Each structure stands twice: as structure tokens, then as C-alpha cells.
Amino acid sequence: MPMKKRQLGPCVTFFPQPTTLIGTVDPEGRVDLMTASWAGIVSKTPPTMAVSLNKSRLSYDNIRRTGCFTVNCVPSGLAVEADYCGIRSGRDRDKTAVTGLELDQAEQVDAPLVRACPLNVECRVTGEVELGDYRLILGEILQIHAVEEAFDEVGGIEPQAFDPLVYLGGIRQYWSLGGHIADAYRDGLALEKNGEDQG
Ligand SMILES: Cc1cc2nc3c(=O)[nH]c(=O)nc-3n(C[C@H](O)[C@H](O)[C@H](O)COP(=O)(O)O)c2cc1C
């Protein structure tokens, strides 16, 4: 049976998206946290993240002034706090005071790390692309902090320790991650005759 499809037209319905908190400071050192789901890794060499911010965001102004930001991966237990940081602007509210989210000092940049987020990425701005009302900010990754309990004795990583909050853009819902399905860069090779990596 072919999958019957409905056309949604040009819109922003796309799954899954990460839920991140972008950490910045203003010139007076006041911190701001903003929720962003349009964020991701876009290059390995140099390691680079891109975040797309509406130019009206306080976070965008802060990034323009300081040239840096952090990207904090939100765990499923912080859905309400992250949602709040996506509804209110730091221009009107002290979002860290309202949410109670605690912060740590970053190592390489002048921007806060969210302590309760198990993965924090420190970025220095390397480029900006204008996209209508949005600005795609490119940030070279200078440091990543990953929660210690994610590592087993042999250096393997336990994904459950990150428990990322998944955002379903377009229908505006938060979900948690499902289970482990397969291994990347390996299990696809089972479709070739001899099952070996030819590339
Ligand atoms: C789930 C979610 C995802 C969001 N993703 C983005 C995004 O990727 N880019 C953006 O500009 N705004 C995004 N927003 C909206 C901003 O977080 C929101 O406008 C916030 O108030 C801006 O805060 P600021 O003015 O303190 O920077 C998102 C909001 C939610 C709830």
C-alpha cells in the first residue's frame, strides 16, 4: 500500500528538532537564556554549530555584541523551564530567576552554561547569514562539556544520561527520545552483498 500524503505547503513542520537553550550575556554582564530548536552541528572541520535567531531576540543582540554564545542541550525533565525561556524575552523578565536554572562559567567564552543540561557547547561566532527576519549564526565550537555519568569504564557513552527533549516543530509538542534502533555508519552496510564498507 503506498503511503498517502497530504501537502502542507511552505511551512516549518519538521521533526525531530533539538530543544536547546542559548546562553548569552549583555554588555552589563546580565545573562539571558533563550530556547532555540533551529540549532545543530553543520561542520566537523572546523567543528561548527549553526543557530537561527530572529533578529528581534535579545539573544541575537547579545551575540552580536559579545561574539559568542553557548548551546545547552535540554533534558526531558526541563521541558517546562525550556518552554518558559521560549515564551518570554530577557528584555522583560529575568528568566534564570523565574526558572531557577543555575549557571556555570564557561571556559572559553563570555556566556553562561546551564548546569542542569548534560551537554553544553561553547561557541565563538565565525559568520552570519541573513535569512529574511532570521539570522543564521555560525559558531566555531571551542569546548563541549558532557556529563560525567554518561561515560562507562571503557569510555563508551550512555545516551540515556542525556535524555534529550525532542521538539516537534509545526505541531509545537515536546517528546522524549525513543529507544536504540541501530548503529550508524555500520548497519546500513547490511544492504550490500558482502556487507563491507566500500567507501
Ligand atoms: C520550542 C521553541 C523553540 C524555539 N526556537 C527558536 C529558534 O530556533 N529561533 C528563534 O529565533 N526563536 C525560537 N524560539 C522563540 C524564542 O525562544 C523566544 O522568542 C524568546 O522569547 C527569545 O528570548 P530573548 O528575547 O530573551 O532572546 C523558540 C521558542 C520555543 C518555545
- Going by pLDDT thresholds of 50, 70 and 90, the confidence category of residue 193 is confident
**Exposed e or buried b per residue across 130-156, where buried means at least 16 C-beta atoms within 10 angstroms of its C-beta:** eeeebbebbbbbbeebebeeeeeeeee
Protein residue closest via CA to atom 17 of ligand 1: 86
Atom from ligand 1 closest to the CA of residue 22: 27
Residue nearest atom 10 in ligand 1 by C-alpha distance: 53
- Residue 17 near ligand 1, beta carbon < 6 Å: no
**Residue type, position 81, single letter:** E
Q: What is 15-191's CATH superfamily?
A: Electron Transport, Fmn-binding Protein; Chain A (2.30.110.10)
Residue minimizing CA distance to atom 11 of ligand 1: 53
What is residue 155's predicted lDDT score, i.e. its pLDDT?
A: 85
Whether 86 is in the pocket of ligand 1, judged by its Cβ within 6 Å, is yes
Q: In this predicted structure, what is the pLDDT of residue 5? A: 97
Residue in 141, 157, 137 with CA at minimum distance from that of residue 149: 157
Q: Closest by alpha carbon to 130, among 22, 69, 52, 68?
A: 52
Confidence at 197, pLDDT banded by 50, 70, 90: low
152-181: average pLDDT? 94
Domain boundaries, the chain: 15-191
Taking the C-alpha atoms of residue 102 and residue 114, their distance in angstroms, rounded to an integer, is 6
Task: Answer yes or no: is pLDDT of 87 > 90.
Answer: yes
